[in-house]
Amino acid sequence: MTGNGNQTVVIIGAGLGGLSAAIRLAHAGFKVRVLEQQPAAGGKLQRIEERGYRFDRGPSTITLPHLFRQVFEAVGRNMEDYVTIERLSQATRNVFQDGAIVDLTGSPEATAEQIAVYSKADAARFPAFCREAAELYRLSEEQFLGKLLLGVKEKLDPRLAWSFMRVKPLTSLHRLLRRYFRHPNTLAMLGRYATYVGASPYSAPAIFAMLAHVEGERGIYSVKGGTYAIVEAFVRLAGELGVRIETNTPVERITVRNGRVSGVECGGRHYEASLVIANGDALSVYRHLVAPEHRPSVSDGRIDRYEPSLSGFVQLLGIPRTYSQLLHHTVFYPKHYADEFADIFREKKPPADPAIYVCHTALSDRTAAPPGGSSLFVLVNAPYVTASWRWEQEAENYAMLVRRRLESCGLDGLGQAEVAITYTPEQLLRDTSAHRGAIYGISSNGARQTFFRPGNRSRDIKGLWFVGGTAHPGGGTPIVTLGGQLVAEELVRQYRT
């Protein structure tokens, strides 16, 4: 299929969603230019290298590799020629305050055996839960994830309505889990999946139980060279197809003529374009790049009514020693997991006793650290940016709190790190223009924010489209990649010759 070569597309932001769309459109014959405000492509996913230690600043858990593969196959390429993605045999270790440990290995039976150590009742119910999680994933994949749902016809499809009710939109994830489990360890381990979409398990809809199937049975993967290697692969492929990517180029305004995009302004230049795809936070784009007179259906007041997702506080620690107690991914849970979400969403402050996620990249890829060393990505959930917490004043104290908690769990020697870098929600806001520093844009707390997100096509401006975590189908590296493909395929369909 060939596209209309007269169509010029500007994509704002070189995240995975924007790069995915750029690749597909360029292959179809569109003239594509990508403008990225940061020094390197990748959006929230960046690579940091210092003193022989390599870190991914951003997403580190990779699932659903077939969605990345589709980007290459859609343009006649083999993914293996660009990037190596391999399934982890031992993926995530869950460590609880009572000393219990559950390792996810891709075997539900093995997981149930570990749960049985602290709760035989929960272990007995685990297979039934896995069946429901698999069914939720199937329904989501068939009816929600693979469709843009642009018009009334798609939204009123009886099959969609039937599936919508099947995924229990008004039941919270925690409530669904309570139908199966009682032990706080199991509830915390499976409730944590809500944080993958920036939400609380006590408010996010039950559909996100499907992530237990995605990780537990479909698998967790590592990327040779780090997660950023996916960005490098997309950039290389885009270049081969003629995409122009310009970094250090922040867009200042989306220009509109007679209700239709005419291009973008940045650095005193105007880039003409018949189509603009914003690969960024839709709320930030509307507020900062679109003049109010051109967005009557999206007023500032409506933007403020959306609840932002949670953010994250990151430490990158390069340490000249190894840690046998860590898998590639390890989560240390607090005694009272619910308190974390009250602190974040109600009090708007970092958790006093947070769950701590550690990615030990060098365990699977020794090139990530010097011999005998570890490159640790340490993440705790944090509130989106508000006036009630100032990270510039509090970051170091909070970093010490997190490190002390890890040391109490047996990770000694963190104070001897040769590299110690912190990254706060305020820095995320400045670097990526994420609305209020939220990682996933809009939270998925509740049915409205989960199932009625901003559309991929602007209601006010013809030719303006959106990809990324704020828009359908949602956040997470494979899902935003899918969103870029869906938007590009729709534009190819509309403008094909």
Confidence of residue 150 (pLDDT cuts 50, 70, 90): low
103 assigned to some structural domain: no
Q: Are residues 357 and 381 in the same domain?
A: yes
Query: CA-CA distance, 71 to 46, in Å (whole number)?
Result: 20
Mean pLDDT of the 137-162 span: 65
Q: Render pLDDT for 453-478 as a digit per residue (tens, 0 to 9).
A: 778 999 999 999 999 988 888 888 99
Q: Are residues 188 and 233 in the same domain?
A: no
Confidence of residue 162 (pLDDT cuts 50, 70, 90): very low
Q: Are residues 327 and 402 in the same domain?
A: yes
pLDDT exceeds 60 at position 431? yes
Decide which of 219, 234, 253 is a domain's last residue: 219
173 assigned to some structural domain: yes
Q: Are residues 209 and 182 in the same domain?
A: yes
The pLDDT score that the predictor gives to residue 90 is 85
Q: Are residues 314 and 425 in the same domain?
A: yes
pLDDT exceeds 90 at position 441? no
Q: Are residues 171 and 244 in the same domain?
A: no
- Encode 245-264 in three state secondary structure: EECCCCCCEEEEECCEEEEE
The radius of gyration of the chain's CA atoms, rounded to the nearest angstrom, is 22
- The residue that leads in pLDDT, 450 or 202, is 202
pLDDT exceeds 60 at position 63? yes
Q: Are residues 322 and 420 in the same domain?
A: yes
Q: Going by C-beta distance under 8 Å and a sequence separation of 6 or more, which residues neighbour residue 475?
A: 196, 197, 198, 309, 439, 440, 441, 468, 469
Q: Are residues 295 and 318 in the same domain?
A: no
Q: Are residues 327 and 427 in the same domain?
A: yes
Q: Render pLDDT for 319-362 as a digit per residue (tens, 0 to 9).
A: 999 999 999 999 999 999 999 999 999 999 999 999 999 999 99
Report the CATH number that the domain containing residue 248 is assigned in CATH.
Answer: 3.50.50.60
DSSP result, 93-148: EEE-TTS-EEEE-S-HHHHHHHHHTT-HHHHHHHHHHHHHHHHHHHHHIIIIIT--
12 assigned to some structural domain: yes
pLDDT exceeds 60 at position 156? no
Decide which of 219, 243, 277 is a domain's last residue: 219
pLDDT exceeds 80 at position 452? no
Confidence of residue 155 (pLDDT cuts 50, 70, 90): very low
Q: Are residues 412 and 315 in the same domain?
A: yes
Domain tally for the chain? Answer: 3
Q: Render pLDDT for 256-308 as a digit per residue (tens, 0 to 9).
A: 999 999 999 998 999 999 999 999 888 899 999 999 999 988 877 777 788 89
DSSP result, 267-313: TTEEEE-SEEEEES-HHHHHHHHS-GGG-TTS-HHHHHHSPBPPEEE
pLDDT exceeds 80 at position 85? yes
51 assigned to some structural domain: no
Sign of the CA dihedral with 137 first, then 168, 17, and 39 last: negative
pTM: 0.94
Q: Render pLDDT for 232-264 as a digit per residue (tens, 0 to 9).
A: 999 999 999 999 999 999 999 999 999 999 999
First to last CA, the chain: 8
Decide which of 406, 432, 458 is a domain's last residue: 432
437 assigned to some structural domain: no
pLDDT exceeds 70 at position 179? yes
| Domain interval for residue 279 | 8-43+64-86+225-306+443-495
243 assigned to some structural domain: yes
139 assigned to some structural domain: yes
Mean pLDDT of the 370-396 span: 95
Q: Are residues 456 and 483 in the same domain?
A: yes
Q: Are residues 300 and 447 in the same domain?
A: yes
With 0-12 / 13-18 / 19 or more C-beta atoms within 10 angstroms meaning exposed / middle / buried, residue 8 is middle
Helix, strand or coil for residue 150? Answer: coil
